[in-house]
Amino acid sequence: MPAISLILFIAVSSASALIPSCENGKCGYADESGKRVISFSYDAARPFSKDTAAVRKKGLWGLIDKKGKFTVKPKFIEIKECFQDICAAREKKFWGYIDSRGKPLTLFEFEDALAAKEGLAPVKTKKGWAILNLKNGGIRHILCEEIMPFSQGLARIKKDGKYGYINAAGEEALPAIYEKAFDFDGGFASAALDSEWGFISAETLAFKKKDFESLGPYSSGLAPAYAQIDGKISCGYVDSEGRPKINFDYAMCAHFRGNLAPVLKSIKGKWGFIDREGKEVSSFKYDSIYGFYGGLYLAIEGNKSFYIDEKGKEYPYLDVK
């Protein structure tokens, strides 16, 4: 089965005007016409998050601005999860947070660090997962196996194999009773309770069952839904009331990010993209859709990778090894 792994390096906006692209093993940035804007002098380059992008040179990561000027010279083992000019960075063995100018916002003392959103960051310490308040440095440990970044004032946690949500104070907002659950977006989150799928309202925190075999993450006003159609499981898209908005014409479909969603017409076929109107905006030729970063999808075709903008246009990136 063609693979899709939507790694949630958090996206913060629609497609950037500066798009990572590579040629002859060197990467830089092009505009939407394909014109080089920032020189192709990096070993790797990631999409911009606001006004900041992470680039790798000589094995180390740094940050540049939209003029291609280093705001943080390459010195980190890894930089990930940039959001609103705050980045999680690894120095030697441990993680911490820096701003877009490289100013340390925390000590480098965490075993793992995820995107800092709404002033709060999920971090892993020697004692387990915790919520770090970047405004006052306060930290609250949460007894759980996993914490995801905050969205609409709530963070999804995994506890004893099930999912629930905590608020900004680290208090339980919804108990960990859901077999599956996703992050909130647009006031709703998809979840499964007692083997039945539905939506949770961020306003009321009530779960409302919908008659689908399963639901994917609710985002951009739509959620992928699987249902029995003519004796087989098919996928389409529904709104928060469960009303079909895009026909159930697909074997598999992933959730929308901005204006695009990856879909698969047949299990043995290739991935392509549709827009929010259900229009196909790319060829169905991709072996996998590997992630979504800064308003761009990363797609794999054979031994080539491409960033895909919201119009379905592709920009060559690094060869897949």
Average pLDDT over residues 218-222: 95
Q: What pLDDT band is residue 320 in, cutting at 50, 70 and 90?
A: low
- Identify the three-state secondary structure at position 265: coil
- Which pLDDT belongs to residue 16? 41
Q: In what order do the strands lie in the sheet with 26-30?
A: 19-23, 26-30, 36-42
Q: In what order do the strands lie in the sheet with 207-209?
A: 180-181, 188-193, 196-201, 207-209
Round to whole Å and give the CA distance between 146 and 123. Answer: 10
Q: Is the pLDDT of residue 7 over 60?
A: no
Q: For 233-267, what is each residue's pLDDT tens digit?
A: 999 999 999 999 999 999 999 999 989 999 999 99
- Which pLDDT belongs to residue 294? 77
Q: What pLDDT band is residue 321 in, cutting at 50, 70 and 90?
A: low
- Which pLDDT belongs to residue 85? 86
Q: Is the pLDDT of residue 31 over 50?
A: yes
Q: Is the pLDDT of residue 306 over 80?
A: yes
Q: Is the pLDDT of residue 80 over 90?
A: no
- Which pLDDT belongs to residue 244? 97
Q: Is the pLDDT of residue 15 over 80?
A: no
- Which pLDDT belongs to residue 13? 36
Q: What pLDDT band is residue 149 in, cutting at 50, 70 and 90?
A: very high
Look up residue 276 and give its DSSP letter. Answer: T
| CA distances for 70 relative to 63, 163, 179, 258, 312, angstroms | 6, 40, 45, 29, 30
- Which pLDDT belongs to residue 258? 85
Q: Is the pLDDT of residue 166 over 50?
A: yes
- Which pLDDT belongs to residue 6? 39
- 297: part of which helix (H) or strand (E)? strand 296-301
